[in-house]
Amino acid sequence: MDSLLATIDTPADVRALDAEALRRLADEVRARIIDTVSRTGGHLGANLGAVELTVALLKVFEPPADKLVWDVGHQTYAYKLLTGRRDRFDTLRRFGGLSGFLRRDESPYDAFGAGHSGTALSAALGMAVARDRRGGGEHVVAIVGDGAAGCGISLEALNNLAGTTGRLIVVLNDNEMSIAANVGSLARYLAVLLANPRYNRWKTSVESVAKRFGMGWLRQRYYRIEEVLKGLFLRSLVFEEFGLRYIGPIDGHSIPALTDALRIAAHSVKPILLHVSTRKGKGYPPAEAHPEAWHGTSGFDVATGVSTAPARGPSYADVFGRVLERLAEQDPRLVAITAAMTAGTGLEGFKRRFPDRFFDVGICEEHAVVFAAGLAAAGRVPVFAVYSTFAQRAVDCVIHDVCLQGLPVVFCLDRAGVVGADGPTHHGVFDMALFRVVPGLTLMQPKDEAELAAMLVTAVRLGKPAMIRYPRGGGPGAAVPDAPEPLAVGRAEVLREPAGSGGAPVWFWALGNMLEPARGAAALLEARGVPAGVVNARFIKPLDEALLAQHGAAAQAVVTVEDGVAAGGFGSAVQETIRARGLPARVWRFGWPDRFVPHGSAAALRDAHGLTAEAIAARVADEAAIGRVAG
């Protein structure tokens, strides 16, 4: 049988298909997603669950004229396939290829960029209001999923919705998961709606009769009277208190049910919410059985579901989790917090062992920080584990609610630096520039697993705000002692002394995973006759100013290397210190440029941006280049 997917170049081709062809298309799209992600890696579970929903949306609406605003982007692989990107889909998440998320500069069908959860409602509301003001007629649809309905931004948008616009369609794609299982009152409320037995028996009987006898009119009539009838079975609906007409739950894997409901929504004279029930990982048994494990995946064998990625040792997240458990055994005040990322941040073990001291607050980073501040003010020692890119949402809370009050909250920023294929929405490159300027915050980065353990002990015992950043994946494999000792705050470590005594040396000051290219560059320089030393800075704040003063007074140059933006980051702190002391050394800063770094493997990105040992050594060896950036 010929491929239907091969004939789909635009959404207009989807709208031309009949019901049977739409079902076939959904099957082909699902198979293509599984095949591609098995080779490129990516977000599999939520994307498989959203296939029929995507097909139905493109059957009913006409983007790019109609605006489909997706939350997160974890649901949009099918959308990419059906909006003119089929021929490039094999480049997904690869350097120079398609993004794993939505990007306005990638396609006119991407109405709004999506990488962080909770933005769809606010953005769609803004588009709807702009349409209303100019008298436009297009539909605006917000597709909210992966736990975003409980995100603080989504709730703020809901609060602003009533009276702001008369026409807005919200599709709540409820797969009962965010990355981990959804938590909180709203998640429990949606579960009640989905599980009410009397309501669902009645609903199922109507659906089965309509399907058996081809009575599409019955399904449409059912949706029209549902708003009245549901009151017989369910308590007052929270969404309607926000000014949204509520319809659902709708079978998210039935294209006829979805298209009927979407057509009803398209004619609604008030904002409307369609509550769609989907299954994360739908159509691929391993992902259905273990949806959290298949949220994001590396390459795998389709037949078995077994990962094809090389075996790896413990990640920094694994080490963090294990050490935190040991510290919790010793200190009953210690508590752990995460924002819907229990497994990703290494806290599964802590959750099992200390359930009364573990808190998953959902996708609510601002709340997590202020919640931690409250715990600290009441005598607890809270440790908030969060991806660096998501910590950006809570900058004000870190400043105002933690550091201004000097509260002993520990922030552990996982996925700091460039993270690879997830791209600019997920690169954790801004944290040093954002947080090093905050008074009273100790900020550090370890060179290996053992040093991460020592830094965690340091932070927990410090009695002041502290932050540790560390990259995705594993380190060099250093053994972690059973009883790590705290570090001397603000003390750097010399790893390599310059060879010989001829001429002023170059000193490399580097952090964490950038020590490897710094060491390589130092070796290359010495092979050219330039003496070079290497310092593991450890502390971004406070800097080891005494050691830096020694090097700044005697060195030809101090070269900083960091996995963060160069503007305002660690290198800027070094440069400011050397200038303030009037020291003669030049400063040459290596970090990520003043633009958003694209997606691709970390190795490819470093090569493209001159952050390899060879590129660093070549530029440092160029005396003219050094002279142009005099400290």
CB atoms within 10 A of CB 195: 10
Which pair of tokens denotes residue 419?
Answer: 């993270």
Active-site residue, selected from the candidate residues 28, 226, 365, 562: 365
Which pair of tokens denotes residue 249?
Answer: 């739950």
Report whether 484 contacts 456 (CB < 8 A). yes
DSSP state of 17: -
Active-site residue, selected from the candidate residues 393, 436, 519, 541: 393
Rg (CA), the chain: 27
Is 326 among the residues known to form the active site?
A: no
Q: CA 579, CA 559: separation in Å to the nearest integer?
A: 14
In terms of Cα–Cα distance, which of 53, 72, 45, 50 is closest to 422? 72
- Sheet strands side by side (includes 140-145): 67-70, 140-145, 169-174, 272-277, 245-251
DSSP state of 484: P
Is 393 among the residues known to form the active site?
A: yes
Active-site residue, selected from the candidate residues 80, 219, 280, 447: 280
Task: Give the max Cα distance, the chain.
Answer: 92
Is 292 among the residues known to form the active site?
A: no
Which residues 6+ apart lie within 8 Å of 558 measured at CB?
A: 506, 507, 509, 548, 551, 552, 574, 578, 585, 586, 587, 588, 631
Q: If you search the block for the tokens 């002041």, which residue do you land on?
A: 464
- For 81-208, strand residue ranges (E) read 140-145, 169-174
Q: CA 405, CA 604: separation in Å to the nearest integer?
A: 42
DSSP state of 124: H
Burial class from Cβ neighbours inside 10 Å (0-12, 13-18, 19+) for residue 185 reads exposed
Name the residues annotated as catalytic: 280, 365, 393
